[in-house]
Amino acid sequence: MPRHSLTALNRGALVAVAGVLAVAAGAGLTATADAAEPRATKGPLPRLVVGTVFAPVSAAPYAQAVTYDSELVPVGGSVQVKETLRRDGGTRIELRVRDLVAHRVYGAHVHTKPCGKLPADAGPHYQDRVDPTQPSVNPEYANPDNEAWLDLTADRHGSARSLATVDWRFRERGARSVVLHEMATATHEGHAGTAGARLACVNVPFV
């Protein structure tokens, strides 16, 4: 898969037009990220789709996604996040990336706040049961059942896909972004949930 050949102008245009679609499955309806979404457990369940490219951090907070390390997450690399609400009350999240560094592992998690100019602006990991001790490194709370972990490994083309399925729903406006980290997520006591530096961030208005 060839890398994108993008001029600075083309990149800016892609960032400008990349947006958010909230699709009511089977209904053929679209809405902006700010539209109210139903939470019914009967009938079609909403699916949120965010597709965009990583912009330079100077574009924050207006860009849909930004990179803090353009060597490991290049400007112009693409990212897509899908959220589907399961009828059993759970949530399925899918992360896809393209044009990252080949054969490299990236940690990835859902975070509580939108992306900003600083990596820390996205806040901590979203937790269904919130650890009273922050930052959370206790595996009782920092684990893939209580958080949404989306670690992935890029193939020889720099592309990757990961899935996370949890048995809960996000609290309203409680989850606002997905952050890529420099290494796989740790699971051991005192370091659970950590994955090194924050490399990039994509705004996702989870429903």
pLDDT tens string 17-49:
344 443 333 323 222 333 333 444 454 477 899
What the block records as the tokens of 193 is 């949930």
Residue 42: predicted pLDDT: 59
pTM of the model: 0.81
Does the pLDDT of residue 58 top 70, yes or no?
A: yes
Does the pLDDT of residue 16 top 80, yes or no?
A: no
Q: What angle do CA 22, 158, 69 make, to 5 degrees?
A: 80
Cα distance between residue 120 and residue 38, in whole Å: 31
| Average pLDDT of the residues of the chain | 84
- Decide if 108 contacts 76 (C-beta within 8 A): no
Does the pLDDT of residue 15 top 60, yes or no?
A: no
* pLDDT tens by residue, 123-182: 999 999 999 999 999 999 999 999 999 999 999 999 999 999 999 999 999 999 999 999
Q: Which CATH number is 8-203's, of 3.30.1360, 3.40.50, 2.60.40, 2.40.50?
A: 2.60.40
Instruction: Please provide residue 27's backbone torsions phi and psi, each rounded to the nearest 5 degrees.
Output: -100, -15
* pLDDT tens by residue, 96-135: 999 999 999 999 999 999 999 999 999 999 999 999 999 9
Residue 46: predicted pLDDT: 77
Task: Provide DSSP, 55-99.
Answer: EEGGGTTTSSEEES-TTTS-TT-EEEEEEEE-TTS-EEEEEEEES
Residue 25: predicted pLDDT: 33
